[in-house]
Structure 1
């Protein structure tokens, strides 16, 4: 119950800052778009004519191909734009409760520092999870009811997106506790998102490097940091119902998140306020 109180406090702060409202409003807008702007006329049970905002696409489209295309596009949008917006919107939640005046009041409560930090972390993850699952679930229901195609893999994309956010937010939590700067922690996290595709293509970069040590460094960064590019690819494969050949990117990224939060908790528990 004490942990739940910290999570509720985080929700209330997000609501007061209109962060939660903005998330929810954008998610609702996308759902309304699917309800009113996208019209499908099923032909022979296999193909469909498509109209968006009243403008009809001249070609008939395979229904399953259409559904997978729309759901894949939405999953990609949530994984890229959704993650960027979520990280930006929640970047200040750790540093705000570390402010002088706030933190002294919070740590005076009968809670361990681990519970305090975990509650704040889970509060931020819960805010994002609520909005992601709200958008994924309702858009899935709308598309499935309209087309009769129930693609369960699309629901798994919501889990992947929330997991990826939780992993990246563990890094932001660590940086916020150490540096106490929301802007700096956000920039570092964005940088990892930006460099993830480059680290995946590190074999091509080796030829440009003058020393073997740089190749070892690149390999070290690749295996240590969260592999967001591969996580995005796993998300796409789940939506499309394709086989995932390797889960290494997922479990190694989860281990990174656990490690970052563990270090954050240790530093926070020993910090003087």
Structure 2
């Protein structure tokens, strides 16, 4: 299994897949480090510049007639916030500095989840199908290796490469933002296992379809179709907007498909912003579905005639 694992890493490096993804990740955090400048004085944000342009730190100018109403509303919100032990007027119940840092981290985590996972799927989607090509699979089967060790080694190589990539991107952004602001938010790092786990869930679809059909193109099309279906199923109160005869199908599909949108919209941003965590049920059910997909893939691979 170790030999297949190392072979997979060498194949990823030879195809410049890992290098390309790491270059993209480096560009993301380096751009954030160079473009965003924060002026922090005594733990408070005094100014911010983005690509050299001064950011607005206050509300837009308003008419004199609007000022009294605004002052009354601000006084009420300030009193309510102070009663709740929070600083007024900013999202996440935080200061302006925290809202800027948390917002930047939430943006990167969301991009890594929605865009990064898709890029990683397209970059590594052909590895399972290529494993089964004549010549390569014949050579591996001639070795004293079980079929589960062959497939497991391939999957372990993909998992290790993607874990290193996600850790590098999220860890670098966290370190840059923390050093710039002096605000350390270790909960942001919990987005790493969540993003990586959801990638592996979707890669379970790629693995199962590739093992069953030997087609990497079909496996990626199935993943895209599944993502589209999960986005449609995530529409609030969808079952009340369709005919009654279709409602059992909608409910069944919601339980049968990974809850990719729910995790991306709720859990990942909440980890980045420090909000109370939700969607744990959606995350747990997705992991269970992923485990079932891999079990079917290993069963099929062990019985396939090469």
Normalised to the residue count of structure 1, the TM-score between the two structures is 0.94
* 1:219 and 2:217 aligned: no
The equivalent position to 2:153 in structure 1, one of 119, 127, 146, is 119
Over residues 228-269 of structure 1, what are the superposed CA-to-partner deviations in whole Å (9 max), with x where a residue is unaligned?
A: 011112111111222224421111111111111111001100
Partner of 2:10: 12
SS at match of 2:56: strand
2: CA distance between counterparts of 1:123 and 1:62?
A: 42
Shift of 1:128: 1.2
Matched position secondary structure for 1:201 = coil
Q: 1:68 to 1:175 in 2, by over 3 A?
A: same
CA shift in 2, pair 1:246/1:34, >3 Å: closer
CA distance in 2, matches of 1:119, 1:31: 31
How far did residue 195 of structure 1 move?
Answer: 2.1
Separation in 1, partners of 2:272, 2:260: 17
Q: RMSD in angstroms over aligned alpha carbons?
A: 1.5
Aligned residues of 1:41 and 1:48 also touching (Cα < 8 A): yes
CA distance in 2, matches of 1:159, 1:181: 29
Unaligned runs of 5+ in 2: 59-94
Cα contact 1:43–1:49 (8 A) shared by 2: no
Structure 2 match to 1:258: 291
- Tell me which residue corresponds to 1:197: 231
Distance 1:151 1:191, change over 3 A: same
Q: Using the alignment, how far apart are the partners of 1:202 and 1:260 within structure 2?
A: 27
Counterpart Cα distance in 2 of 1:105 and 1:28: 37
Q: CA deviation at 1:94?
A: 0.4
2:173 aligned partner? 139
Q: Counterpart in 2 of 1:208?
A: 242
Q: Which of 47, 50, 68 is the matching residue for 2:48?
A: 50
Whole-angstrom distance in 2 between the partners of 1:247 and 1:53: 37
Segments of 5+ residues of structure 1 without an aligned counterpart are none
**1:24 and 2:22 are equivalent in the alignment:** yes
Tell me the residue number matched to 2:305: 272
Q: Normalization by structure 2: what TM-score? A: 0.84
CA distance in 1, matches of 2:249, 2:229: 14
**Of 157, 173, 179, the match for 2:207:** 173
Matched residue SS, 1:226: coil
Q: Which runs of 4+ in 1 moved over 4 A?
A: none
Deviations 1:143-200 (A, max 9, x none): 1011111111210111110000011101110000011111111011112222212212
Which secondary structure does the structure 2 equivalent of 1:28 belong to? helix
1-side partners of 2:181 and 2:291: how far apart? 40
**Alpha-carbon distance between aligned partners in 1 of 2:195 and 2:32, rounded to the nearest angstrom:** 21
The answer for the alignment partner of 1:242 in structure 2 is 275
Pair member with larger Rg: 2
Q: Distance in 1 between matches of 2:55 and 2:274?
A: 26
1:202 to partner: Cα distance: 6.6
Q: Is residue 202–residue 218 contact of structure 1 (8 Å, CA) maintained in 2?
A: no
Q: What per-residue deviation string (whole Å, max 9, x for no partner) do you get for residues 75-107 of structure 1?
A: 110111101101110110101111111111111
Q: How far is the alpha carbon of 1:205 from its aligned partner?
A: 4.5
